[in-house]
Amino acid sequence: MIPFVRELAFEYGRCDQVSPLIRRVIARNPGPFTYTGTGVYIVGSGEVAVIDPGPDQTEHLEALQAALSGERVTHVLVTHHHLDHSPLAHPLARLHGAKVYGLPAPSPYASDAPALEEGGDDRFRPDVTLADGDVLSGPGWTLEAITTPGHTSNHVCFALKEENALFAGDHIMGWSTTVITPPDGDMGDYFASLAKVRARDFDVLWPTHGAPIRDVAPFIDAYVAHRRAREAQILDALAAGLTTIKAMVPSLYAAVDPRLHPAAAHSVLAHMLQLVREGRVVSAGTAGLDAEYRLA
C-alpha cells in the first residue's frame, strides 16, 4: 500500500511559508488530475525562483504578484509542458524580466490519448533548455535540474541543495499515483527515473499538487511496488483470457473514479508496451489500446 499524504491546509491565493527557503501559492484549478490545484513554489527571498507558475488565470497571477511584491524573479522553472504547470511561465517571466527554464514540449503527434484535464501545452518552449545536472542559483539557494522522463518525455525535477529537497512536479505525488500516457509517457523511463530520484536520498519531496512527502525512501519504494503489482495484475489478466486493455480496466481499476478510467487505460497501455519490449507479452499487430495481447 502506498502511504498517501492527502491532508493539506491551504487557502487559494494565500502565500504560505512551508520551509525556511520555500513559499507556496495554490491556484484555484482543482480536479481529478490536479487534486486541490497547482502549487506554485517560490524559492528564496529578495531574488527568487518560481517553479511551475501554473494556469494563466487573472486571479492566480494577482495572488502570485502579491506574494512577490518587492522581490525580483530571476528564474521561472517549469517541470513539464502540461496546462496546469506551464502557461503562466512566460507571462510571469516578462513581468519580471526573467527567463523561463525547462525542456520544450515534444512535437505534436497523432494520438488517441484521452483529453486529460491537465492537457498539454504543445507550444511551450523555454528560453533556456536545461540539461541533467544544470545548476541555477540565487542569494542563499541552489537548484539542480534532474531530468525525470516518464510522466512526460520532457519532465524535469529540481533539487534544492540547501534543504536536500526535491520539487517533484508530477513525477511523484503524495495524493495519487502518476499517470503515464503513451506515446509521450513511457513506463520504462518512469521506472528508471524513480530509481534515479530514490538514489539521491532526499529529505523531502514537494510535488506540484498536494502535500509534501517527508518519508521519502519508503514512499518511493511503495510507488515502485504499486507499479510492479499492476504489472503482475496485467499478466494475470492475460493468463485469465482477458486479451484487450479495455476488457481489463474495469476490474483492475474497480476502486478508481470512473472519470479516470480513460487515463487508466493508457497507464495499462504504458505497462503493456514495456512488457512487449521486454519480450514477456506479444501483441497481435501494432501494440495499442485496441490491440489484442497474449503472454509470450
User: What DSSP line would sit under 108-165, residue for residue?
Assistant: P--------SS-B-TT---SEE--TT-EEEETTEEEEEEE--SSSTT-EEEEEGGGTE
State residue 113's pLDDT score: 47
Asked which of 223, 257, 282 is the last residue of a domain, the reply is 223
In this predicted structure, the answer to whether residue 109 has a pLDDT above a threshold of 60 is no
Q: Span 160-166, mean pLDDT? A: 98
From CA 231, how far away is CA 57, in angstroms rounded? 39
Tens of pLDDT along 177-202?
A: 998 989 999 999 999 999 999 999 99
Residue 201 lies in a domain: yes
Residue 1 lies in a domain: no
Is it true that the peptide bond before 183 is cis, omega within 30 degrees of 0?
Answer: yes
In this predicted structure, the answer to whether residue 137 has a pLDDT above a threshold of 70 is yes
CATH number at residue 127: 3.60.15.10
Tens of pLDDT along 33-82?
A: 899 999 999 999 999 999 999 999 999 999 999 999 999 999 999 999 99
Work out the mean pLDDT of the chain and round it to a whole number.
94
The answer to whether residues 98 and 210 belong to one domain is yes
From CA 225, how far away is CA 231, in angstroms rounded? 10
User: What DSSP line would sit under 65-117, residue for residue?
Assistant: HHHTTT-EEEEEE-S--BTTTSTTHHHHHHHHT-EEEE-PPPPP--------S
Residue 104 lies in a domain: yes
Q: Span 80-105, mean pLDDT? A: 97
State residue 36's pLDDT score: 96
The percentage of the chain sitting over the pLDDT mark of 90, rounded to a whole number, equals 86
From CA 48, how far away is CA 108, in angstroms rounded? 33
State residue 262's pLDDT score: 86
State residue 50's pLDDT score: 98
The answer to whether residues 182 and 62 belong to one domain is yes
State residue 111's pLDDT score: 44
The answer to whether residues 243 and 151 belong to one domain is no
Number of Cβ within 10 Å of residue 173's Cβ equals 23
Q: Find all residues with CB under 8 Å of 28, minimum gap 6, and list them.
A: 12, 13, 37, 57, 59, 60
Structural domain that includes position 232: 226-295
Task: Please state which of the ranges 102-111, 156-165, 230-239 shows the lowest mean pLDDT.
Answer: 102-111
Global pTM? 0.94
3-state secondary structure of 186: coil
Asked which of 159, 188, 223 is the last residue of a domain, the reply is 223
Q: Is the CB of residue 116 less than 8 Å from the CB of residue 33? A: yes
- How many whole angstroms from its chain centre is CA 115? 17
Residue 124 lies in a domain: yes
Residue 262 lies in a domain: yes
The answer to whether residues 112 and 212 belong to one domain is yes
State residue 121's pLDDT score: 81
221-226 — which CB contacts under 8 Å span 24+ positions? 222/1, 222/2, 222/3, 223/2, 223/172, 223/177, 223/194, 224/191, 224/194, 224/195, 224/198, 226/2, 226/177
State residue 119's pLDDT score: 66
In this predicted structure, the answer to whether residue 294 has a pLDDT above a threshold of 60 is yes
CA atoms within 13 A on the CB side of 150: 27
Tens of pLDDT along 231-286?
A: 999 999 999 999 999 999 998 998 888 887 888 899 899 999 999 999 999 999 99
Domain count, the chain: 2
State residue 107's pLDDT score: 79
